[in-house]
Amino acid sequence: MRILFLGDVVGEPGRKAVKKRLPILKEQYQADFIVINGENSAGGRGITPKICTELLRAGAAVITTGDHVWDQKEIVAHFASEPRLLRPINWPEGTPGAGSVVLETEFGKVAVINAQGRTFVQPPLENPFTVVDKEVTRLRDELGVKIIFVDFHAETTSEKIGFGRCFDGRISAMVGTHTHVQTADERVFPNGTAYLTDSGMCGPDESILGRKIEPIVERFKTQMPVRFPVASGRVRLCGAVIDINPETGLANSIERIQDIVEP
Amino acid sequence: MRILFLGDVVGEPGRKAVKKRLPILKEQYQADFIVINGENSAGGRGITPKICTELLRAGAAVITTGDHVWDQKEIVAHFASEPRLLRPINWPEGTPGAGSVVLETEFGKVAVINAQGRTFVQPPLENPFTVVDKEVTRLRDELGVKIIFVDFHAETTSEKIGFGRCFDGRISAMVGTHTHVQTADERVFPNGTAYLTDSGMCGPDESILGRKIEPIVERFKTQMPVRFPVASGRVRLCGAVIDINPETGLANSIERIQDIVEP
Amino acid sequence: MRILFLGDVVGEPGRKAVKKRLPILKEQYQADFIVINGENSAGGRGITPKICTELLRAGAAVITTGDHVWDQKEIVAHFASEPRLLRPINWPEGTPGAGSVVLETEFGKVAVINAQGRTFVQPPLENPFTVVDKEVTRLRDELGVKIIFVDFHAETTSEKIGFGRCFDGRISAMVGTHTHVQTADERVFPNGTAYLTDSGMCGPDESILGRKIEPIVERFKTQMPVRFPVASGRVRLCGAVIDINPETGLANSIERIQDIVEP
Amino acid sequence: MRILFLGDVVGEPGRKAVKKRLPILKEQYQADFIVINGENSAGGRGITPKICTELLRAGAAVITTGDHVWDQKEIVAHFASEPRLLRPINWPEGTPGAGSVVLETEFGKVAVINAQGRTFVQPPLENPFTVVDKEVTRLRDELGVKIIFVDFHAETTSEKIGFGRCFDGRISAMVGTHTHVQTADERVFPNGTAYLTDSGMCGPDESILGRKIEPIVERFKTQMPVRFPVASGRVRLCGAVIDINPETGLANSIERIQDIVEP
Ligand SMILES: [Fe+2]
Ligand SMILES: [Fe+2]
Ligand SMILES: [Fe+2]
Ligand SMILES: [Fe+2]
Ligand SMILES: [Fe+2]
Ligand SMILES: [Fe+2]
Ligand SMILES: [Fe+2]
Ligand SMILES: [Fe+2]
């Protein structure tokens, strides 16, 4: 079975492009299950209940997030009624929402986990390695889940590769998010886990991480505070498709996706 | 003319692979000028005078470095006698060594600049945007240099893309280093500067950033201090080739390189 | 002559207490020259032109700031017309405002310098050690200033003590700000510079750094985003008085101040 | 009953001064129970089994540590046989050693907890607020401990004051460590917990945090790597004495200590 993942959707340009192109991508890659990271889908900062519904209707089975998850206050209450919206699993006990979900599919149970790194990412959460270790054990041993997809939202390459290697053979795939730039290191690790350090974003192409170029360059030159509005123009959709053996839960292959959508 | 760049060479495995494969790569990509980042070439930490000479003899015209530049003490004095070895240009005035060099070639003067980012990289150096701005102006206006290659050693995608966009049209190419993972966003920006967020490293493939997997995973799980020895086995050489119009100094194209070298 | 310094004034409670008590403190400590750090005087975030005028009228000769200097946008333009308002001197060239000022007094010229640390303080500015070194040289050698007071706004004790030691004998006094907690290490260094790692703030006493206790404790427990309103109730004014020999510019003594003002 | 606490002992000068002066301080302050932070007692970096024994023999009932706890490898195994040596309690489960200890005294059970902050301190540990909350509940409810002393090893004033306020009324005292500079904010909080943001260190007075001045100033000026040897000369012992009502476990008073010991 095939999981299609799309990285951080940025603002309205990102959402529009996803809605327009997702049916075509689903067909093209014969995707059975779609996961989208929506942490920047509301004007670049967080996600609203309305946008969450929009992305689910567009075809996503699960929406993951990241460090921007609480940027829009109204989303906090929405987690109670929408189990397919995830926040990083390593938030402390008692935090609204959940960091994993199991869905029934024609290929059996499919689990999605969302976790957040701790190196150069705020705020400091629980250790993602130990928290996800417990969750993977629970999913596999208690619930008999074989197909497990993880969106690991983290900054550094060392923490991301460390995470992927740590779970090699126990999860189907880990794809990283947060840097908004796709890496070229897709591969299936020796024990069968598909891996990509970062998926890249779904956002305006003439931009810096989806935002207008000039203010950010100005900020780096002068250090003065500026606003960072979302950019416009053609959008690059970035993601990955993982082909998974549903019998074993291990990956056969992983392929990067980059697709240009004109506005 | 064509510049071949290879990212952070890690330890002996990285050096051996570079020496073995560089003649073939040079031929294959019709490279006229070779730049290699050597900041991890001495056991993963810094570079020694001997290794510097080794890499120059292997075919590099210029060696760049990064935050690990001073890890081997003996290198400090070596800068005085080897102008083709660079440290980031935005170290304060009075620091040993230089951050740029101009070489005469059959295509005219070729300049290489090495700079270091400030977001999540230690120690804090001078502003690379303003320092490189002055240097590019000097190279272009005073020395009449058209072909300018920059190795920008930085952690975050925002600082790297911001840097590339800032100098679009004034330098031939910027290739990033430091994360050791190649990104898949190579392109020529609208004003003619070739760009790649990170080149990726030249180091062992079954590794985390060139180092053994287990100790790093253990570190993330337990936080306890451990040693991070350089890994072994097959090496992946990562880099890029930029095709530059010597008349204008602008880039025609940029191509990523990943090449496996068996030990 | 005697300089009275008051640390970060927090919000309306801080301002009210300063205005009420400053005449008494001036009298009590026989202060000839008053410097106040106003970086949190506008609702805890920055300073407005109106508040700047208010603090100058209350008796301050110079207002210093810190990392919160630009929090209120309207202050940017105000620097052009008010030389007695300072922002850290190690902002890059071309930044609005100035980081030092020289005033004529009955004891001769008195200079105040405001600088900002780089360890764990954002954004990254120029090196305060080298920037202030140049400024102290200029003040002493070109302008013949002997009395030089520095407010060094920084996080870590190592950077602050390092700074004080670096300028021992060349400035009259360095008092630190930014942590909002007064340190108990006031002393005159061997070469005659008075020193205090942190002055402490002028803000509500039943608070965390001047802000309400509960939201901040909640934030540390849950990591969830919360608002941090300024607290109320009795105010603690924290600062220091430095007695300086105007002939040499060196300090005779430094005394810490903590004064409770009921609302 | 009275607890005497001494902050981070730095190297041989610190140890010598502690051994020489502790009997006098114990007498002078009528101390019943002595706690010493030893994280820098071995040449400035960590603690050895031998030094641990030395400090216990000198009169300490409990030795606390901090982020430097593992700097000397031989200490790891020592934790198993010495329950009076603590490492921060918020290290993950499975870490060698313990973060709290309960000792029987003539005033009943006395507990000491050692915890570490997460803002600007590496590595990232578990949430000290929730971990200590559980431990305090266990000590009070299960073991009936009333007298609880906490050494909270952290960088920022906000995390330290937040911690003290969070446990106000449930612990006898919290004294902070790590910055090596004593703060002047000692007080008993409204619900009866004695508090001091930082105890200050026990180390050479002509120094930067116990280390030689020149190399550190040089480092700040040039950013070049240097060694930071422990300084010498007269030592300043910094700490606090807390007077506790053994019936309630609440504090009557807290007094700062600074004591000069000539070599
Ligand atoms: Fe993110
Ligand atoms: Fe994002
Ligand atoms: Fe690096
Ligand atoms: Fe590197
Ligand atoms: Fe500040
Ligand atoms: Fe402040
Ligand atoms: Fe420490
Ligand atoms: Fe310490």
Q: For chain C, which residues make up each domain, given as ranges?
A: 2-261
Annotated binding residue at D214?
no
Nearest CA in chain B to A190: B206
- Give me the pLDDT at residue B249, please: 98
- Give me the pLDDT at residue B24, please: 98
Size of interface B-D (CB pairs under 8 A): 26
What global pTM score does this model have?
0.97
Chain A residues lying within 8 Å of C92, measured CB to CB = 221-223
How many residues does the structure list for chain D? 263
**Residue in this structure with the two tokens 């969070």, named with its chain if needed:** D166
Yes or no, beta carbons of B190 and A206 under 8 Å apart:
yes
Q: Give the pLDDT of chain D (263 residues) as one tens digit per residue.
A: 999 999 999 999 999 999 999 999 999 999 999 999 999 999 999 999 999 999 999 999 999 999 999 999 999 999 999 999 999 999 999 999 999 999 999 999 999 999 999 999 999 999 999 999 999 999 999 999 999 999 999 999 999 999 999 999 999 999 999 999 999 999 999 999 999 999 999 999 999 999 999 999 999 999 999 999 999 999 999 999 999 999 999 999 999 999 999 98
Structure-token pair, residue D109 = 């059970």
Residue A169's identity, in one-letter code, is: G
Yes or no, beta carbons of A157 and B181 under 8 Å apart:
yes
C78: annotated active-site residue: no
ipTM for this model: 0.97
Yes or no, beta carbons of C181 and D162 under 8 Å apart:
no
Residue C69 binned pLDDT confidence (cut-offs 50, 70, 90): very high
How far apart CA C254 and CA C248 sit, in angstroms, is 16
- Secondary structure of A50-72 in HEC code, one letter for each residue: HHHHHHHHCCCCEEECCCCCCCC
- Give me the pLDDT at residue B108, please: 97
- Give me the pLDDT at residue D140, please: 98
Ranges in chain B, pLDDT < 50: none
Where are the extended beta strands (E) located within B106-157?
A: 108-116, 147-153
DSSP percent split of chain C into helix, strand, coil, nearest 5: 25, 30, 45
Of A95, A221, A223, the CB nearest to C222: A95
Residue C249 binned pLDDT confidence (cut-offs 50, 70, 90): very high
C222 inside 8 A of chain A by CB: yes
Q: Give the pLDDT of chain A (263 residues) as one tens digit per residue.
A: 999 999 999 999 999 999 999 999 999 999 999 999 999 999 999 999 999 999 999 999 999 999 999 999 999 999 999 999 999 999 999 999 999 999 999 999 999 999 999 999 999 999 999 999 999 999 999 999 999 999 999 999 999 999 999 999 999 999 999 999 999 999 999 999 999 999 999 999 999 999 999 999 999 999 999 999 999 999 999 999 999 999 999 999 999 999 999 98
Of the candidates A15, A21, A68, A236, the residue annotated as catalytic is A68
- Secondary structure of chain D in HEC code, one letter for each residue: CEEEEECCECHHHHHHHHHHHHHHHHHHCCCCEEEEECCCCCCCCCCCHHHHHHHHHCCCCEEECCCCCCCCCCHHHHCCCCCCECCCCCCCCCCCCCCEEEEEECCEEEEEEEEECCCCCCCCCCCHHHHHHHHHHHHHHHCCCCEEEEEEECCCHHHHHHHHHHCECCECEEEEECCCCCECCCEECCCCCEEECCCCCEEECCCECCECHHHHHHHHHHCCCCCCCECCCCEEEEEEEEEECCCCCCEEEEEEEEEEECC
Size of interface A-D (CB pairs under 8 A): 12
Of B124, B221, B225, the CB nearest to D70: B225
How far apart CA A212 and CA A13 sit, in angstroms, is 12
Ligand nearest to the CA of C116: 5
**Residue in this structure with the two tokens 């935005």, named with its chain if needed:** B90
Q: What is the DSSP letter of B79?
A: G
A95 inside 8 A of chain C by CB: yes
Annotated binding residue at C12?
no
Ligand nearest to the CA of C211: 6
Yes or no, beta carbons of A222 and C94 under 8 Å apart:
yes
Q: What is the DSSP letter of B92?
A: P
**Residue in this structure with the two tokens 């502003």, named with its chain if needed:** B127
Superfamily of domain B2-261, CATH level 4 = Metallo-dependent phosphatases (3.60.21.10)
Chain C residues lying within 8 Å of B118, measured CB to CB = 124
For the stretch C178-213, pLDDT in tens is: 999 999 999 999 999 999 999 999 999 999 999 999
Of C92, C124, C127, the CB nearest to B92: C127
